[in-house]
Amino acid sequence: MLSSMPMTKLSVNVNKLATLRNSRGKNTPNVAEMAARIIGLGAHGITVHPRPDGRHIRRDDVFDLKKIVKAPIEYNIEGYPSPDFLELLESAAPDQATLVPDPPEALTSNAGWDLSTNEAALTGIAARLRDRKIRVSLFVDPARFDAQELSALKRIRPDRIELYTEAFHDAFNTPNRAQMTALYSRVAKLAKENGVAVNAGHDLNQENLSYLLEHVPEIEEVSIGHALICEALLEGLPATIRNYLTIVKRE
């Protein structure tokens, strides 16, 4: 009997819930309560991306969620590694810190790290966070991942990379899908061969996720927020989470 493929963990990004709450200036929806409901529906993790202007997730949310997200559920905090953000990580002590290169004013994460240029800084930051038992993931764009970037990755030695999947999403319904997916597969294999685990996120949805996981089986975790919340408006949150859990089980 053939064994089933390994399960990928689903981490739900709750930024959009915070955006909705902030639009009215009160506390509906309550982000922590919604996160608890999402966990109760079977999600494996909660992701947030606080920004300095507090336009969605705020500092208080980070600590409120820390009270909700308990093992075996994982807490992932994304952000640009500014001094303030690193201090926040050390105070909140999430399971994982996903470091992204976008500046504070960016609407959303829109690029991967230039690892070779930022090697010294990222090496020091990764060591600092690992000393505090925080797993370190670096946002990487497969389209610009060349031999020089691989060499830098080997020296930085993060625990994981997160594949920036916007280009995969954009190519999914075009003739370039197979070629683009092969690019992601190549980078995932290189990372794993060098002891770096693989996550993925950005513009993933129910339409494209199964295909990605089938062709890039190295992916251990996906972080999904915008599409999941949009789909939940049509399907309901329980059905949407259930659909994603079916996909990530890969049975």
Enzyme catalytic residues: 49, 78, 202
Query: What is the 3-state composition of the chain as percent helix, strand, coil, each rounded to the nearest 5?
Result: 45, 15, 35
Q: Which residue type is seen at 240?
A: T
- For residue 179, give every residue at least 6 positions away whose Cβ sits within 8 Å of its Cβ, in sequence order, or none: 171
Phi first, then psi: give them for residue 29, nearest 5 degrees. Answer: -75, 150
- For residue 223, give every residue at least 6 positions away whose Cβ sits within 8 Å of its Cβ, in sequence order, or none: 11, 12, 13, 45, 47, 76, 78, 98, 162, 199, 200, 201
Separation CA 79–CA 224 (nearest Å): 15
Which of 162, 182, 156, 163 lies closest to 171 in space, CA to CA? 182
Q: Name the residue with tokens 């980070």.
A: 62
Separation CA 126–CA 110 (nearest Å): 21
Beta pairing class for 219-224 and 135-140:
unpaired
Q: Which residue type is seen at 181?
A: T
